[in-house]
Amino acid sequence: MKISFDWDKKSIEKDEAGFSHRSGKGNRKITYARALFEAFDGLLAADKRIFVMGQGVDDPFGMFGTTKDLHKKYGKSRVFDTPISEEGMTGIAIGAALGGMRPIYMHNRPDFLLLALNQIINHASKMSYMFGGKTNVPLVIWACIGRGWGSGAQHSQNLQGLFMHIPGLKIVMPSTPYDAKGLLVSSVLDENPVLILEHRWLLRHEDFVPEGLYAVPFGCGVVRKKGKDVTIVGVSYMIIEALRAAEELKKEKIDVEVIDLRTLAPLDEKIIFNSVKKTGRLVVVDSDWKRAGVTSEISALVMAKCFRYL
């Protein structure tokens, strides 16, 4: 599989200030959904072990356009619809991963992942630990989060805090088309399970995105806006809101630094701590519940390791 690793991890690690800004590259702007489509298309073309399954992946809309007509290009054995049986289908995906395949199981809503918690927690995320690293589960689970469109209480939950709690499971939450494409590639290349949570309100956002496949690293946040007065930390769509808030606060002569973590597990603690040491103030934003969630976890980490800088 020919992948361009469009990053230098060593240079990020050596950056004493903890800053690493990565915006889109290339000479064309595409939507977030199109960037995901290109990643799926390129990955399916590059490796026959990869297949995509899920409710709606082969319908005319193709999971918000991210898989549109890929079943026609690669066949119904590699891009196919699944029954409404999340636990059973997750078990099949885990079995395929254990057998050498690289499944991508897509959900148009994250709520139904709750029906597969036994498979995700007791099997996929534990396999490597249970067998001393000799067994891997290269499974990607993709879900679209976010409220709206008349979704009820059972179709609009953001559950990243719940899944962040699980050892052995990587959590990816991009905010830009560039990162969405690159992090999907990294997720498929990974040897252990990855959960990608994409916010539906981002799907029409545009950014510069290179052609071809490239990988964006896990556990490396980026500073979307530098500032000196207060640090705002978040992921996914909340980065859009944080940047809007930063523009409003600029009118009050408050200089905000905005940090996009990009992944929650692994979590880039260093970039948070370095920013807090500079600004002395922290705001953590997330679309999930507050109690025992992303915001409380990051707040606790900063209180434990950076309290004297606040």
Q: Is 155 a catalytic residue?
A: yes
Whether residue 301 lies inside any domain: the answer is yes
138 and 229 part of one domain: no
Residue 211 is a catalytic residue: no
In a domain, 17, yes or no: no
Q: Which residues contact 61 (CB under 8 A, 6 or more apart)?
A: 68
Residue 299 burial by CB count (10 A; 0-12/13-18/19+): exposed, middle or buried? middle
Cα(53)–Cα(77) distance, integer angstroms: 9
Half-sphere exposure of 249 (CA within 13 A, CB side): 18
Q: Which of 258, 142, 183 is nearest to 7 (CA)?
A: 183
Burial class (CB in 10 A: 0-12, 13-18, 19+), 76: exposed
Which of 38, 71, 86, 199 is catalytic? The answer is 86
Q: What distance in Å separates the CA atoms of residue 161 and residue 165, rounded to the nearest whole number? A: 7
Domain CATH for 240 = 3.40.50.920
Per-residue pLDDT tens, the chain, 310 aa: give them: 555 544 443 332 322 333 333 455 667 899 999 999 999 999 999 999 999 999 999 999 899 999 999 999 999 999 999 999 999 999 999 999 999 999 999 998 888 899 999 999 999 999 999 999 999 999 999 999 886 666 677 777 788 999 999 999 999 999 999 999 999 999 999 999 999 999 999 999 999 999 999 999 999 999 999 999 999 999 999 999 999 999 999 999 999 999 999 999 999 999 999 999 999 999 999 998 889 899 999 999 999 999 999 9
Provide the domain limits for residue 109: 23-208
Asked whether residue 95 falls in the same domain as residue 195, the answer is: yes
Tokens 């148009």, residue located:
108
Domain CATH for 45: 3.40.50.970
User: Active site residue: 21, 38, 123, 155, which one?
Assistant: 155
pTM for the model stands at 0.91
Our count of domains for the chain comes to: 2
